Amino acid sequence: METPEQIKSRLEAALPSAKIEIIANECPAGERSLLVDAPSAFAAAQFLRDDEQLRLDYCSNVTGVDWPDKELTEKVKVKQVVEGVEKEVEEVKKTVRPGFLEVVYHLYSMARKHGPVVLRCRTENRTDRTQLPSLTPLWRGAEFQEREVFDLYGVVFTGHPDLRRILMWDEFEGFPMRRDYVAPDDFEYEPTPHDEVLAEAKKHYPAEAKAEAKPEVKA
């Protein structure tokens, strides 16, 4: 199969307006993916499906990823005059990368027996501009999985034939798989709490936690 670079160059030749980026992967598998900008995502996906060499006719998986706002720290060397002497001082520059939602499609070819090609799409932000083009018209199997991504992450797929919640009930509010989702506090007493549950238990039963912290005196 073609490398992501080859696919990228052919995609750019076919769609001049598309902005395509290759995302590196540091894990041992090293599966690199193609990041396509939202306006040309549908056309790019159609190219991947119909291209004679690729023929990616099977969408095996649609995944949602939540990327919250991230603080990036960068060390910058700045020249400063300290006590009359010019010195190089390191300064920490902080920038905030705005968060976004991402949808990952894993594409395989049944006809050519190769794959996967990983296709990514990102929304503009996590609050109001969360629209992405639906790829259900291209791969019918993406329908329920896109519904699931909508249900749990809140990505709105434009052009989806039936965009409703699929796992949660219709009256549910919020998107439970987002990192900042706060479930209602319904903590209950646990006899053997540990890790996150232990922290919750200490919050709800402070006296109990104190009693446990005391060293037991045995005769």
Partner 1 sequence: MIEEGLKNELQKQGVYVTSLQELYNWGRANSVWPLTFGLACCAIEMMAASMARFDLARFGAEVFRPSPRQADLMIVAGTVTKKMAPLVVRLYNQMPEPKYVIAMGACAISGGPFKQGYNVLKGVDRYLPVDVAIPGCPPRPEALLHAIMTLQEKILNQKLTGPDRPRHLNADVAGEFPVPAYGKHDLEPPNNPEVWQPPAIQR
Residues that bind partner 1 (CB under 8 A): 167-174, 176, 181, 183-184, 186, 188-189, 196-197, 205, 207-208, 211
Least Å from the CB of residue 199 to partner 1: 12
What minimum distance in Å lies between the beta carbon of 203 and partner 1? 14
| Closest separation in Å from C-beta 210 to partner 1 | 12
User: Which among 117, 104, 116, 134 is positioned nearest to 42, based on CA atoms?
Assistant: 134
Partnered with residue 158 across adjacent β-strands are 133
Least distance to partner 1 from the beta carbon of 205, Å?
A: 7
Select from 101, 142, 107 the least CA-distant residue to 34. 107
CB 164 → partner 1: shortest distance, Å? 13
Q: Which is nearer to partner 1, 108 or 187 (CB)?
A: 187
| The one-letter amino acid at 79 | K
Distance CA 25, CA 4 (A): 12
- Of 98 and 206, nearer to partner 1 (C-beta) is 206
**C-alpha to C-alpha distance for 45 and 6, rounded to whole angstroms:** 15
DSSP at 214: S
Residue whose entry in the numeric block shows the structure tokens 């010019």: 86
Of residues 111 and 181, the one with the C-beta less far from partner 1: 181
In angstroms, the first-to-last Cα distance of the chain is 73
Give the length of the chain. Answer: 219
- Between 83 and 186, CB nearer to partner 1: 186
Nearer to partner 1 (CB atom), residue 67 or residue 205: 205
Quick one: which of 28, 201, 38 has its CA closest to 211?
201
Residue 177 CB, shortest distance to partner 1, in Å, is 9
- Residue 200: which H helix or E strand, with range? helix 195-204
| 133 vs 193, beta carbon nearer partner 1 | 193
